[in-house]
Structures are given as structure tokens and as C-alpha cells.
Structure 1
Amino acid sequence: MSTEMPTDCERPSLLSSLRELGTPLELLRFPLRAPELATAPRGDGRQIVLLPGFTAPELSMQPLALYLKYLGYDATTWGMGINSGEVDRLTDEFGRKVESMVARSSSKVTLIGWSLGGVIARETARLFDDSVREVITMGTPLIGGPKYTSVGKFYAIKEGLDLDAFELEVHARNSIGLSQPLTVIYSKSDGIVGWQAARDVYNDHARNIEVRSTHLAMGANPKVWKIIADTLASETAH
């Protein structure tokens, strides 16, 4: 496990950010991959909870939840409405909810988070270790918090945040490491989160998988869905 501060991260370029405007066209290609998605491995009925990104509603995760239900998983959205971005508070509330789910079912929960939802998923796995089975993230700013995002500077001004100090805090948390299986999906075409910052360089067992997708389309990208389906099936086999 690495505990050195990553130094190769950058914010998305202006061109990458502008490519986010093409998200609707990217989503139109979804039906072309539908046949492949329909033949993905069947699920084992495990509990899966999906967490939306910053300021995103639960509805943004509903298509993926429905697909995972189709495969045979007990998939739901997180049940906490719009992601306000208050990571510490949301992690505590969500973690207690996950604990209750585990107490009722006697089985750990798999977490799938998009963007900032992935940060909350990973922090939940860290702080509520006995309740989380596995974590999958999509376009999640794992390094630097908001520092290497396209809106980082504006967010820092709005919240009175020192991005460099916050980066050190995030680094300290990440250096603790996670014990669960980790799948980290990122894209060099991401116009919101710098792709270098969306990789896990802390946990040796983490699987960093590159896809071609805008940030805003990642949660409905058929390639991403296929990776998630195959990952869940592979973890079940083991």
C-alpha cells in the first residue's frame, strides 16, 4: 500500500470539460450495447446500494439499480435524497443505515458510488468495515477532494476551503487503506474529475479500470454497466 502523496494529478482540461456537453449523444448509443448487457452473468441476490454524485438526485442511479435487479441482485438507491456533499455527516448517517441493513439480513452490503457518492461509499467501508462487502466507484475524486475537479476553485471560494489543506486531509484518510475488494472505474475523457485523481493508488488490491466516457454519462454507460456486472459475478465466484 502506498502512503506517498500523489503528485501527478491535474484538473480536467477545458476541452475535456466542453466534451461533457456531448453527454446526450453518448447516451443515445446505449441501445447498441443492450444485447450484450442482457446476457451478463446472473446475480446472487446480495444487497447492493447505489450512491449518487454531488447535488445529484437518487433518480440518477435508478437505471443502474433496475439493471442490477434484472440480473438478480437486491439493488436499491441509498434512500437519502440529493447528495448535499456533506461527506462526514452523510457517511455517518448512511453507515448507520447500512449497519441496520446488515443486522436485518445477516449479510454485508456492496456499495456502488458515482462521483462524490463513491467517496461516501469508501468512507463508509472504512468506518463501518464489518458491514461492507465490496466497493465500486465511477468517476470518483479519490485524490485531493475537490482540488482536481473542474469546479474545485469555485467550490473552495464558496465554502471558504483551503484546497491544499483539504488535499492533505484526504491523503491521510486514504493512507489508512481499505480491506474490501475495490473496483475503480475512471475515464480520461472525464471533464469534471481529473482522471489521475480518480484512480486508487493507495490500495494494492484495487482494480483501476479505464473506460471511455464523459463524467455525466458514466452512470448510464453500457461499458461501465458490463464492468460492474462482471465484477459482481467474479467476486461471487470467489
Structure 2
Amino acid sequence: MTLADRPAPPPFRRLVREWASFPRIIVNPLRRARSGAEIGKGRPALVIPGLTTGDISTVLLRRTLKARGFAPEGWRLGINTGADLAKLRMLEKRIAQLHSESGKKVVLIGWSLGGLYARVLGHRCAQHLDMVVTVASPFSGDRHANNAWRIYEALNDHTVDDPPFSEDMSAKPPVPTIAVWSAVDGVIAPECTRGRDGEADYTLRIDAPHFALGTSRAAIDKLLAKIAEVDAERA
């Protein structure tokens, strides 16, 4: 890939607009889920938050998953500050446990940085997973085509180009994958969250700010509709 072909980080004006949706994360515990068709069928759903956020950021998503028949859980590992091998190992064990206890494979959903965890786990414990869903996650292309890499490197002892695991995040895990992306994302270049041909089984475009993709009821409804569509194709 030449320099001219590399996607650029989203422009500053888009990043500024992100802050209008950021307060939704803070008030998530106060928001109620919308009801809808039962699509979960009792499947466990593990939701991994993004950089510098924790389970509070995914409360509305998990409440909506529960209202739609899933058995959702947060990652329970505090604030997500970066790729951490110890946390990956704990998540591997937890996914295996959820599968064993429920008798159903796990739906793994990762938002932003959480989606990179999800892609790696998709390779490490595919036998326990029903599908891997990434929401605005930079799994493809240039790791610097975003407005968060400097924060990431300030918080970690490795660069974005040298994470502490051998898996290639752009390589599709051997389970069904959905990549949710936004053409107006103010944090990550859309090309990196959509992926190239063959890097995801399904893509879903939801044109909302990065911080709204996991906290907007409309965006969550579209995500769940896509999961139901994928389920129907596999039935």
C-alpha cells in the first residue's frame, strides 16, 4: 500500500462533533432498552468496551440484548486501556465457561478497541463462539488512521503496530463476523472499521458518530436486526 492509498484519520471537524454524543455514555445506566422481537434464544453475549471506557459504556446495549432474549454480560475487567495478554486469557476462560454453562455458543461483541479483543478471541476460541461482531473497530489497514492512537500509545508499553499477540486482526476469524462501520465516524477512518474484501463475512453501515454507535437506540436496533438477518441465513 502506498502512502497515497492509506486512509487518513477523520478530519478534526468530525472529531469535535463526537463530543456531542459522548455524554450518552455517562447516562447509560439511566436509559431503558427498547423491546422487540426475541432473537437471542438464550445465547450468552459478551460485550467488550472501547478504549478508556468500561462496562458503563455498554449498559444500554446489554439491556437491549437482554430485552431481545440474549443473556448478556460485561467484560468485568475495569477500564479498557489497551491490549493486555492477561485480560485476553481471562476472557478466553470466561467464554469457555459461558459456553459450557449455557450449552450455547457465545455472541461476542466488541466496540472500538473492544472489537480488536473480539477479533483475537475469534481466532483463539472459535469453538466457543457463535459470531464475532465489531462496532467501529480498527481491525483493518493502517493502525494510525484514527484519532486515538496517540492516547493508546501513551497508556501502553507497546505501539499500535506492535500489539502483544501474534494474531493478525485483519484476518477473518473462523466464525461468522459482522463489521459495523460509519462513514461519519470522527475517531477512526471508516475504511479501517469496514475492512477489505474477505476480512468480514458481513458489513453493516450505520452513519452515526463513533460514540453513538453503541449508545444510540436506533443504532442498536439496526445492529440487532443484522444479527437476526445473519441468524436467518444460517438457519
Tell me whether the two structures share a fold, i.e. TM-score over 0.5: yes
Aligned to 1:184: 179
Quote the Cα distance in structure 1 between the aligned partners of 2:69 and 2:227.
11
Aligned to 1:31: none
Q: Which has the higher helix share?
A: 1
Following superposition of structure 1 onto structure 2, how do residues 1-238 of structure 1 map, counting pairs within 5 Å?
7-23=5-21, 37-144=34-141, 146-156=143-153, 159=156, 161=158, 165-166=161-162, 173-174=168-169, 176-201=171-196, 203=198, 206-237=201-232, 238=235
Matching residue's letter, 1:226? D
Matching residue's letter, 2:184? S
Q: Give identity over the alignment, percent.
A: 22
- Report the alpha carbon displacement of residue 5 of structure 1 after superposing the two structures with TM: 9.5
SS at match of 1:130: helix
SS at match of 1:216: helix
SS at match of 2:41: coil
Matching residue's letter, 2:44? Q
Quote the Cα distance in structure 2 between the aligned partners of 1:5 and 1:104.
49
TM-score, normalised relative to structure 1: 0.81
- Report the alpha carbon displacement of residue 25 of structure 1 after superposing the two structures with TM: 8.8
Quote the Cα distance in structure 2 between the aligned partners of 1:5 and 1:51.
33
SS at match of 1:201: coil
Residue range with higher mean Cα deviation, 117-126 or 148-157: 148-157
Q: Is the 8 A contact 2:7 2:142 kept in 1?
A: no
Residue range with higher mean Cα deviation, 218-227 or 59-68: 218-227
Matching residue's letter, 2:73? T
- Report the alpha carbon displacement of residue 38 of structure 1 after superposing the two structures with TM: 3.2
CA RMSD of aligned residues (A): 3.1
| TM-aligned CA distance change 1:156 to 1:115, over 3 Å | same
| TM-aligned CA distance change 1:210 to 1:26, over 3 Å | farther
Structure 2 residue ranges without an equivalent (≥5): 26-31
Structure 1 residue ranges without an equivalent (≥5): 28-33
SS at match of 1:38: coil
Cα deviation per residue 1:137-170 (whole Å; 9 max; x = unaligned)? 111111257411213245446656555x549x99
Q: Which has the higher contact order (CA 8 A, sep 6+)?
A: 1
Matching residue's letter, 1:190? D
Quote the Cα distance in structure 2 between the aligned partners of 1:153 and 1:9.
17
SS at match of 1:219: coil
- Report the alpha carbon displacement of residue 70 of structure 1 after superposing the two structures with TM: 0.9
